[in-house]
Amino acid sequence: MRLSELFTKTTKEIPADESALNARLLIQAGFVNKVMAGVYDYLPLGLRVLNKVANIIREEMNAIGGQEIFMTTLQDPATWRAANRWDDQVVDNWFKSELKSGGEVGLANTHEEPLAKLLTRHIHSYRDLPKYIYQIQTKFRNELRAKSGLMRAREFLMKDLYSFSRTEAEFQEFYEMCARAYLKIFDRVGLGKNTYRTFASGGSFSKFSDEFQTLSASGEDLIYLDEKKGLAVNKEVYTEEVLKELGLEKANLVEKKAIEVGNIFLLGTKFPEALGLRFRDQAGRAQPVIMGSYGIGLGRLIGTIVETSNDERGIIWPAAIAPFQVHLVSLTKSKSPIAAADKIYQALTEIGLEVLYDDREEKTPGEKFADADLMGMPYRAVVSEKTGDKIELKLRSENNTELLTRQALIARLK
């Protein structure tokens, strides 16, 4: 894509109420637009990141047998009343609205009840189970304060998978498989080195859950980490008893701030029972389905990547989710090097590379370099009169540059 054609511009104007680094950098670089606190539009560069993250998640969920669906935002209060989660006293972050035809509707803040209800039409026998169903869809949470940028939004895309199993053992087997898939996802999006499976409280559904925590000074959670074992414990369940159960020694643990990027837990039979989702076992007896929940917030994941991969000049995108692999900068106004840069742009895109091509004539070299650093593509390639026939290549994450011929550049980036 040519930067001269892209409609977004980098900016120095950040909304005064935006204190989170992730949102500040993403707004500055033109990846997102702030509509109101906790509500962000994805602009072309941000949408490319979002789609790449979504596809990585999708691939890993499909690989463990996930079937993708797309549920609705508008929700019937009756479905939520069945498990007593419609009342604002019980769930305090509902957005609700009214139908012109009469009656209320809710904006889905999660989808356990509607999915359990939907499945009563499709799951009848032990032969129909187990099933693993997921979606990548918007959730709405009426947060009193939304001040962590994309990390705690009022409207955000979430991958939520729900498992439906016949037995605890069947549930447990999938749960561990999904935990491994989660580590793979965090690895693929570039958070592998500092993301840990973390033992945590189960909230209202079960005694314990597993979180996936990414180390970050801006994290809201405190975890106790055994770096050698690659395991951690959330402060909320940091007791002698839990450590013993997990085989962890206090002496080997370090306290760290971290951001929760994923969470998996047993839901049990609460929602299936409330919505009437049962199956007939081999003896013909009705049994409740056992449900599990597996979530990843996509905006939060992107926010975490920005929080943990940046420097004073801007974002440093991991290659797998960068909107473009190469930021090609043309530095001169005289005709022939422009033609040379055009040819390199064409050659790189022809071999399938994603190239953001800064062909803008009105910008100075300093402005172009600053934009490249702010936007954070993995490679920067510069064509100028100074470099002549060669191209100057630099990794965003490193300082040294290299002069390469066009052939050598193509061979390197291929």
Minimum distance, C-beta of residue 112 to a second copy, in the bound complex (Å):
14
How does DSSP classify residue 4? T
Give the phi and the psi of residue 86 in degrees, each rounded to 5: -85, -30
- The answer to whether residue 12 forms part of the interface with a second copy (CB under 8 A) is no
- What are the strands, taking DSSP E only, across 227-277? 231-234, 254-268
Q: Measuring CA to CA, which residue among 337, 347, 335 is closest to residue 386?
A: 337
- The answer to whether residue 349 forms part of the interface with a second copy (CB under 8 A) is no
Minimum distance, C-beta of residue 167 to a second copy, in the bound complex (Å):
18
Minimum distance, C-beta of residue 69 to a second copy, in the bound complex (Å):
5
Instruction: Give the CA radius of gyration of the chain.
Output: 24
Minimum distance, C-beta of residue 245 to a second copy, in the bound complex (Å):
35
Interface residue with a second copy among 55, 142, 218, 349 (CB under 8 A) is 142
Please give the Cα distance from 116 to 102 (Å, whole number): 25
- Give the pair of three-digit tokens for residue 267: 């839901």
Minimum distance, C-beta of residue 390 to a second copy, in the bound complex (Å):
31
To which residue do tokens 């019980």 refer?
90
Asked if residue 15 has a cis previous peptide bond (ω within 30° of 0), the answer is no
Interface residue with a second copy among 2, 24, 131, 280 (CB under 8 A) is 131
Segment interacting with a second copy (CB under 8 A) among 40-48, 222-230, 241-249, 251-259 = 40-48
* Pairing state between β 326-330 and 379-383: parallel
Cβ closer to a second copy: 123 or 181? 123
At 383, which amino acid appears? V
Interface residue with a second copy among 33, 287, 332, 349 (CB under 8 A) is 33
- The answer to whether residue 403 forms part of the interface with a second copy (CB under 8 A) is no
- The answer to whether residue 335 forms part of the interface with a second copy (CB under 8 A) is no
Q: Which of residues 76-105 bind a second copy (CB under 8 A)?
A: 76, 92-93, 95-101, 105
Interface with a second copy: number of residues (CB under 8 A):
61
Q: How many residues in the chain? A: 414
- Report the interhelical angle of 298-308 vs 21-28 (nearest 10°): 90
- The answer to whether residue 309 forms part of the interface with a second copy (CB under 8 A) is no
To which residue do tokens 């209800």 refer?
117
Interface residue with a second copy among 17, 19, 74, 168 (CB under 8 A) is 74
Segment interacting with a second copy (CB under 8 A) among 16-24, 69-77, 214-222, 344-352 = 69-77
Segment interacting with a second copy (CB under 8 A) among 72-80, 167-175, 253-261, 382-390 = 72-80
Interface residue with a second copy among 152, 154, 300, 394 (CB under 8 A) is 154
- The answer to whether residue 17 forms part of the interface with a second copy (CB under 8 A) is no
To which residue do tokens 């989808």 refer?
111
DSSP, collapsed to helix, strand or coil, labels residue 315 as strand
Taking the mean position of all CA atoms in its chain, how far away is CA 205? 24
- The answer to whether residue 55 forms part of the interface with a second copy (CB under 8 A) is no
Minimum distance, C-beta of residue 93 to a second copy, in the bound complex (Å):
7
How does DSSP classify residue 386? T
Minimum distance, C-beta of residue 73 to a second copy, in the bound complex (Å):
6
Please give the Cα distance from 308 to 316 (Å, whole number): 9
Q: Is the dihedral of CA 407, 410, 412, 414 positive or negative?
A: negative
DSSP, collapsed to helix, strand or coil, labels residue 396 as coil
Cβ closer to a second copy: 233 or 298? 298
Q: Measuring CA to CA, which residue among 32, 54, 34, 36 is closest to residue 44?
A: 32
Please give the Cα distance from 309 to 180 (Å, whole number): 23
Q: Measuring CA to CA, which residue among 277, 317, 274, 352 is closest to residue 48?
A: 317
Cβ closer to a second copy: 78 or 319? 78
Q: Which of residues 358-397 bind a second copy (CB under 8 A)?
A: 362
DSSP, collapsed to helix, strand or coil, labels residue 393 as strand
Minimum distance, C-beta of residue 197 to a second copy, in the bound complex (Å):
28
Interface residue with a second copy among 122, 235, 244, 250 (CB under 8 A) is 122
Residues that bind a second copy (CB under 8 A): 5-9, 11, 13, 30, 33, 35-37, 39-44, 47, 50, 65, 67-76, 92-93, 95-101, 105, 107, 114, 118-119, 121-123, 127-128, 131, 133, 138, 140, 142-145, 154-155, 362
